Structure 1
Amino acid sequence: MNKLLTVGLTLLAAASASASAQTITGAGASFPYPLYSKMFAEYKKQSGVSVNYQSVGSGAGQKQIINRTVDFGASDNFMTNAMMAPAPAPLLHVPTAIGAVVPAFNVPGVSNLKLTGDVLASIYLGNIKTWNHARIKELNPGVTLPGLPITVVRRSDSSGTTYVFTDYLSGVNSTFASRVGRGNSVKWPWGSAAKGNDGVAGAVKNTPGALGYVELAYAKQNKLAFAQLKNKAGNWITADNGPASAAAAGVVMPGDTRVSIVNSANAQAWPISSFTYVIFYKEQKYGNRTQAQGKALKSLLWWMTHDGQKYNEGLDYAKLPAGVMPKVEKVIKSMTYGGQAL
């Protein structure tokens, strides 16, 4: 009887471990959410493993992985050493795609617009408040710009998209750098706030005169016009997969994969481009976590960075460059359970 009970309990424990490995939890960036929704649906079809991903903003994703309430966090900006300091153990980063942040606008009668980073920063500083301002008109000869007030829209939540956008503006405008700076959450001089990329896109779509920053996929899904920008090389660029990918061309990817590609010097690069990351613990044995759960996460990360890449371009994200893959693979292979390779 005792022997049968022991066997029964062993089988129950194994079944429980197997069941827990069938669902992976993640939270964070809204930036890659259209891509992740597709990826995770396809991954379930192929593997039977469900991924429960909550699009709550990069800052929340960073917080949740530090608190170990999810299997992985997701963020468009990598976590610095200082940001990772509160984590109870070493964290790893793996990029999954490259995306473009675009200045989407809603100006009645205007479908094409050119802006420089300096003018964009001046708008967000509150120094340019109407669409027919002389500095905008100068960049757009032949375009009839109305005297409509600009309604600046920015994120209300802690956001990696905000970090990428403010990182760019801080790099091209010293006043913005000193007054606002770069971060997931910053103190904006003016404007209205909306939650998530979807919230900002919706606010721009529904507000004549609005200007907001969103990931390219959200602008296209909502049929929003977005401005061309002059890049570091002095060329006017329209955001797309190619220009986003060009931002990573020639960038030396460090071993930990944490790198910025904002304001690339590449002649064809879109200047507000970024890798988007999945963040997780190197050592997967913590709490009541099983080896099966660690293996399930490792398998998902490998699939996202390999077979899953075929979904990137169709959803307006650039694939990971071939040159970064050896370092991505090395990071994933470094995952352990109880100090042993998974």
Structure 2
Amino acid sequence: MKIMRPMGAVGIVASAALVLAACSQESSSGNTPTSGAASAATATASVACGGKTPLSGEGSTAQKTAVDIFSQEYAKACPGQTVNYNATGSGAGVKQFNAKQVDFGGSDSPLSGADVDAAKTRCGGNPAWNLPLVVGPISIAYKINGVTSLTLTPEVAAKIFNGQIKTWNDPALVAINPGVSLPSTPIQVFSRSDESGTTDNFQHYLAAAGKGAWTQGTGKAFKGGVGNGAQGSNGVASAVRAADGAIGYMESSYVTNGLTAAKLDSGSGAVELTPQNVAKALDAASFKAPGTNDLAMDLDKIYASNTPGAYPLLLTTYELVCSKGYDADTAKAVKAFLTVSATTAQQPIANKGFVPLPQSLQDKVLTAVNAIS
């Protein structure tokens, strides 16, 4: 799936700093957690190295950069241990995991439908778990000459992207942007012309949070029926950048050179896109199987939430693993790799623009990893 490319926005990276320590070959002693914002995860887990090498994984292209960094940090923590990850797309990752061709899968969405039973069979009759390790927000970016601050509600965003709101000085926009001089410029909507997980997540957000304004449905293809399409997020960003009055959705790395990300107001005030604000949304995350170690997130509930200060428009990718059913060597290596990925490796991927796991989610991931056998 063609979703998240790592964000390069300097402001986001600068504010996403973590305090993480490297692990030794056999173990890393518990590091003292840092105090401060809940958005900063800390490396507190010990790593027992050893077991199978190389580990094999396949799937999501969205998390390829992050998994490469996970692998590098794993090799530092556990010299001699390696991971081979083949970025062929989420569908292939699920298929290969279920066929027992790889040790873990990478997916832009949790297992569902027949794949749940297929994964259970692959794991020797034991459930497979969805563990979220890579998180990134989606921005709604715009270019309006003379306008440097814009707030959108989910309902207004839905009406822009399905063509109900046609000019920037529409009363609905004026009402939620007091003090901002909005021109009569026509709104030019740009969307992805190719099928994309970013589009799917964006349309789920509009459907979940838009108070009924989005009735066009969801899916990887844009269904708003308005505007123009462009290939990839880079194409959307270039199209928006070239046209006064333009707006589009994209991964935040593309909000550069004349583009500005809109603030989102879910009902508790305008919220900027920052790692801390994304983490607040994750802190309030709901899970499809609460009370278990299967951490498939109910993103629709995040999208529709009204948590003060939370930026809810995000996407996540998962590592698909067996809860039980691995041989001892594979289980040991999988647990070591995932422990490093959830802790020490979160700082380097933050430097590539992803949003680090907040402490609340990191704790849940580590609990699940420790339970793998």
Give the structure, 1 or 2, with the largest relative contact order (CA under 8 Å, sep 6 or more).
2
Residues 1:236 and 2:273 aligned together: no
For 1:171 and 1:267, the matched residues in 2 are separated by: 17
Match of 1:213 among 249, 266, 269: 249
Q: Secondary structure at the match of 2:202?
A: helix
**CA deviation digits over 1:278-305, x for unaligned, max 9?**
22344565xxxx8655544432212111
1:93-108 aligned within 5 A: 93-108=130-145
Superposed counterparts of 1:107-118, under 5 Å? 107-118=144-155
Q: Structure 1 residue 239: deviation in Å?
A: 0.7
Q: How many residue pairs were aligned?
A: 309
* Candidates 261, 272, 276, aligned match of 1:226: 261
Q: Closer, same or farther in 2 for the Cα pair 1:169/1:21, shift >3 Å?
A: same
Match of 2:87 in 1: 54
Letter in 2 for 1:110: V
Q: Distance in 1 between matches of 2:70 and 2:240?
A: 27
**Greater helix content:** 1
Q: Is residue 277 of structure 1 aligned with residue 318 of structure 2?
A: yes
Between the aligned partners of 2:114 and 2:204, the Cα distance in structure 1 is 17
What displacement does 1:44 show? 4.5
How far apart in 1 are the matches of 2:330 and 2:133? 20
Partner AA of 2:87 in structure 1: Q
The answer on 1:257 being equivalent to 2:257 is no
Which residue is equivalent to 2:57? 25
Note the 1:148-159 alignment, pairs <5 A: 148-154=186-192, 156-159=194-197
- Which amino acid counterpart does residue 250 of structure 2 have in structure 1? V
Could you tell me which residue of structure 1 aligns to residue 369 of structure 2? 332
CA contact (8 A) 1:241 1:313 kept: no
Unaligned ranges ≥5, structure 2: 1-49
CA–CA separation in structure 2 for the residues paired with 1:263 and 1:235: 14
Tell me the amino acid that sits aligned with residue 366 of structure 2.
E
Q: Which amino acid aligns with 2:320?
A: I
**Are the aligned partners of 1:155 and 1:162 in contact in 2 as well (CA < 8 Å)?**
no
Please, what is the CA RMSD of the aligned residues?
3.6
Find the counterpart in structure 2 of residue 13 from structure 1. none
Does structure 2 conserve the Cα–Cα contact (< 8 Å) formed by 1:66 and 1:84?
Answer: no
* TM-score (normalised: structure 2): 0.67
* Per-residue deviation, residues 223-250 of structure 1 (Å, max 9, x unmatched): 7311011123x21000101110111234
> Equivalent residue of 1:307, what SS?
coil
Gaps of 5+ in 1: 1-17, 336-340
Deviation at 1:124, TM superposition (A): 1.8
| Residue matched to 2:356 | 319
1:258 shift after superposition: 1.7
Contact persistence 1:200–1:213 (CA under 8 A): yes
Q: In structure 2, what is the equivalent of residue 14 of structure 1?
A: none
* Alignment map for 1:48-87 (pairs within 5 Å): 49-54=82-87, 56=89, 58=90, 61-62=93-94, 65-66=97-98, 71-81=103-113, 84-85=116-117, 87=119
Kindly name which structure, 1 or 2, has the bigger radius of gyration based on alpha carbons. 1
CA pair 83-174 structure 1, distance change in 2 beyond 3 A: farther
Tell me, yes or no, if the aligned pair for 1:116 and 1:229 is still in contact at 8 Å.
yes
- CA distance in 2 between counterparts of 1:126 and 1:268 reads 28
SS in 2 for 1:246: helix
* SS of match in other structure, 1:179: coil
Partner residue, 1:266: 307
User: C-alpha displacement at 1:54, in angstroms?
Assistant: 2.3
